[in-house]
Amino acid sequence: MPGDANHDGAPHAQCFVRRRCHAHLVEHDLAGHRARWCTRAVFGGNGAYASSSGQLTEVIDIQAVYGQDPIGTAIAISQAEFASQGSVKAVVLARSDFFSDALAGGPLAVAEGGPLLLTPGADQSASLDPRTLAEIERVLDPQGTVYVLGGDLAVSPNVDATLKGLGYRVVREAGTNEFATAVDVAQALGNPSTIFEATGLDYPDALSAVPAAVGNHGAILLTDGSTQAPETRAYLAAHPYDTRFVIGGPLAAAGADPQAKAIYGQDAYGTSAAVASYFFPGASTYGIATGLTYTDALAGAVFMASGGRLGPVLLVDPAGSPPVSAAVDSYLSSLPKETSGYVLGGPLAVPPQVIAAVQALVG
């Protein structure tokens, strides 16, 4: 599913002047460019904007990261995080058309100090997306490593051949299915002593788990809904002393591992708030993403746990009334007034009125 976009395909420069509001937008657009919306107008070096009335008013300093689709958004985030040529030693590469490998691979990307990039699944393309290839050549050290997540049915083996032909080291983190691939990623992380489990049948819980797993130096394993996947069960049995959290209720991951500490709410939105409250009380930053699709947040979840940021991903329902659930409302209200936020997705994914509602709730 394509990501959100503005209508005319061109970078936009807009300036929003509000008091006590520091929100950042991570968006994507047909332009495929990174831009700054509302660059700070500084008078006297104090970071304030002088309005026509002469009053000093704080300005929303919005970083907009654009791409025409999830692949473009991941590239834009990579360019924002790693501006220098050849500045990383490793890149993590996952398919763009399914969520499980990318979300399980989020902690690996952060641990390796590189971006999470995307390419179409093997059933959609037999080759590496040329935009992603160009970004790998830009950001990765010539002797660097590309971790490819998933087997040959997830990402075509032609991708490996292309990357090896360019001199990169290619490591496949792959199992027979998404559950086994997540186990392989956990092993690549060195079998951390903290495990986060989320259902592999739907994306919201795993999305919420990524920043929490990174913040606790953990790995993400997947359950088969409320049934434990055999691959995950075998891994847990081999590591009986791990600290285990399940993200999601009894009808999701909590049903698969009743002995783990369960973090969940009444629905996906409530679960995102429950994760935020448990792992990020008084957070210094937070991310907002639509709960209706995962496309905007595959790379966004990693963004919220890298580059000096560490905060939760909170889900909103742009079609809901209200769009911000009571649980997310309560969490946002608990944060300090000046807490900065990021919106993961453009105005069709998270409309301006939803952003305004979120901003009004903080503090």
What is the C-alpha separation between 54 and 56, in angstroms, rounded?
Answer: 7
Identify the H or E element spanning 195.
strand 194-199
* pLDDT, position 66: 52
What is the C-alpha separation between 335 and 358, in angstroms, rounded?
Answer: 12
As beta bridge partners, residue 243 has 194
- Residue 89: give the domain boundaries: 71-189
Q: How many domains does the chain have?
A: 1
Is 60 contained in some domain? no
Q: Show the CA angle centred on residue 199, arms to residues 126 and 25, nearest 5°.
A: 70
Residues 334, 63, 73, 159: is their CA dihedral positive or negative? Answer: negative
Is 269 contained in some domain? no
Is 48 contained in some domain? no
Q: Are 355 and 327 in contact (CB under 8 A)?
A: no
Residue with tokens 């301006």: 352
Is 98 contained in some domain? yes
CATH code of residue 130: 3.40.50.12090
Residue with tokens 């790379």: 299
Compute and round to an integer the Cα radius of gyration of the chain.
20
* pLDDT, position 47: 26
Supply the angle between the helices 130-139 and 70-81 in degrees, to the nearest 10. 10
Torsion angles phi and psi, residue 135, rounded to 5: -70, -40
Is 354 contained in some domain? no
What is the C-alpha separation between 342 and 24, in angstroms, rounded?
Answer: 4
As beta bridge partners, residue 65 has 34
Question: DSSP 3-state helix, strand, coil percentages of the chain (rounded to 5)?
Answer: 30, 20, 45
Residue with tokens 């390419």: 119
pLDDT, averaged in runs of 10, over the chain (363 residues): 34 31 39 31 23 31 58 90 96 96 97 97 97 98 98 97 98 97 98 98 95 98 98 98 98 98 97 98 92 86 93 95 97 92 81 88 90
Among the listed residues 92, 88, 93, the one whose alpha carbon sits nearest the alpha carbon of residue 144 = 88
DSSP helix/strand/coil, 313: strand
Is 117 contained in some domain? yes
Which residues are within 8 A (CB) of 272 and not within 5 positions of it... i.e. 6 or more apart? 204, 207, 208, 265, 291, 312, 313, 314, 315, 328
Is 223 contained in some domain? no
DSSP helix/strand/coil, 37: strand
Is 56 contained in some domain? no
Torsion angles phi and psi, residue 295, rounded to 5: -60, -35
